[in-house]
Structure 1
Amino acid sequence: MNTALLLLEIQNDYFPNGRIPLEKSLEASAKAQSILHAYREKKMQIVHVQHISTHPDATYFLPCTKGAEFHSSVQPSKGEMIVKKHYPNSFKDTSLLNYLIKNQINHLVICGMMTHMTVDATVRAAYDLGFTCTVLHDACAARQLEFNHNVITAQNVHYAFLAAFQPSYATVLSSDDFLQKAGARIPIAS
């Protein structure tokens, strides 16, 4: 199975002092950083997906802002693919599918922000396109939502979307379990 790591929207606006901070974004990015180090050590395919807002009412990920930049924990290195997107689904109107086909990738390991938006949309689209997905739950983050005057905590939002992935759309693992199953040593995040 040819695998690529997808790092979805790990961008500054989702962190403390950003325009839309997510709960546990720092912890999730540290786990994503560990996975990124493991993929770099093994010289495996890595794709960084960056959202740039083009909607006229957008309040975050605005073009040419610090908030739209990748977080320092997962900065792309030379030679790593960067996909810019404008929708929750990382495949919509991007080069991602062509890149994965060209590199004969059939398995995606997914980390990123937001579990209930981009992670969800990308995993479901990937499944529909024939990819096998593994989502690393502790390398993803969500935020509190509200529905019909009811507050849904970030943790409950996160867990509900992860639970809905199994068993059809994705395998959901912790970062440590994934690295152990992959036979990689767990790098120390700096």
Structure 2
Amino acid sequence: MMKQILLIVMCLIAFTVPQKAQNSKGLLLIDIQEFYFPGGAVELVGAEQASAKAASILDYFRENDLLVIHVVHKVKSGGEIHHLLKPLDSEKVITKTDVNAFNGTDLKECIDKAGIEELVIIGMQTHMCLEAAVRAAADLGYKVTVVDSACATRDLEYDGVVIPALQVHASTLSTLKSYAEIISFEVFREKFLN
């Protein structure tokens, strides 16, 4: 009799205590497109390594039936999503014409419709479209995580001074710490893959 009462109490607790759904997480893949890879119009430093890490992250989200949204920038050539990250038919692809993926698209509506509260955002270029998506997502109230080595950028130049890609990447991620949790791929593996 006592076991039955205990079982009933446990069931009541399970149904009345709010549970945070695992599917409240989503993945945004920002502009991982062919024109950023070797031979493309805007080659990034470390694009191939970043895309390999992004593919592992994508696999995790797919295996756990979590929301995946691919964002692509509309370009005349080289705009195909990189072959390691080709979208499944069930995955949303959003085409943007602005740096910020939320401007002029239905990205926010797709995220909200799926009940997503937390976003993992990865992609290209760290200092441009990735940064804009992270800042916008945080401003809209989402909890944001960026996996640093699943992003890539390029050397920049200003007033005759060349800023190496590694420094551009690091300085951008340093400022994004105010908007998101910035983690390594190893930390992602520990938190999500185990």
TM-score by length of 1: 0.88
The whole-number CA distance in structure 1 between the counterparts of 2:94 and 2:123 is 14
The answer as to 2:122 corresponding to 1:111 is: yes
The whole-number CA distance in structure 2 between the counterparts of 1:169 and 1:177 is 18
The answer as to 2:179 corresponding to 1:169 is: yes
SS at match of 2:29: strand
Q: State the partner residue of 1:153.
A: 164
Structure 1 residues without counterparts, runs of 5 or longer: 53-60, 186-190
The answer as to 2:60 corresponding to 1:34 is: no
Q: State the partner residue of 1:78.
A: 89
Structure 1 runs, 4 residues or longer, greater than 4 Å off: none
Structure 1 letter corresponding to 2:35 = D
Q: CA deviation at 1:115?
A: 0.3
More moved, 172-181 vs 17-26 = 172-181
With a CA cutoff of 8 Å and minimum separation of 6, indicate the structure with the bigger relative contact order.
1
Number of residue equivalences? 172
Q: CA deviation at 1:139?
A: 0.2
Per-residue deviation, residues 87-123 of structure 1 (Å, max 9, x unmatched)? 1101000010000111111111011000000011111
Percent identity between the two aligned chains? 41
More moved, 143-152 vs 12-21 = 143-152
2:191 pairs with 174, 178, 181, which one? 181
Q: CA deviation at 1:155?
A: 0.4
TM-score by length of 2: 0.86
Structure 1 letter corresponding to 2:89 = K
The whole-number CA distance in structure 2 between the counterparts of 1:140 and 1:23 is 10
Q: State the partner residue of 2:105.
A: 94
SS at match of 2:28: strand
Structure 2 letter corresponding to 1:50 = V
The whole-number CA distance in structure 2 between the counterparts of 1:33 and 1:50 is 16
Structure 2 residues without counterparts, runs of 5 or longer: 1-19
SS at match of 1:68: coil
Q: State the partner residue of 1:16.
A: 38
Q: State the partner residue of 1:58.
A: none
1:137 pairs with 137, 148, 152, which one? 148
SS at match of 2:147: strand
The whole-number CA distance in structure 2 between the counterparts of 1:3 and 1:16 is 32
The answer as to 2:80 corresponding to 1:69 is: yes
What root-mean-square deviation, in Å, do the aligned CA atoms of Structure 1 and Structure 2 show? 0.9
Pair member with larger Rg? 2
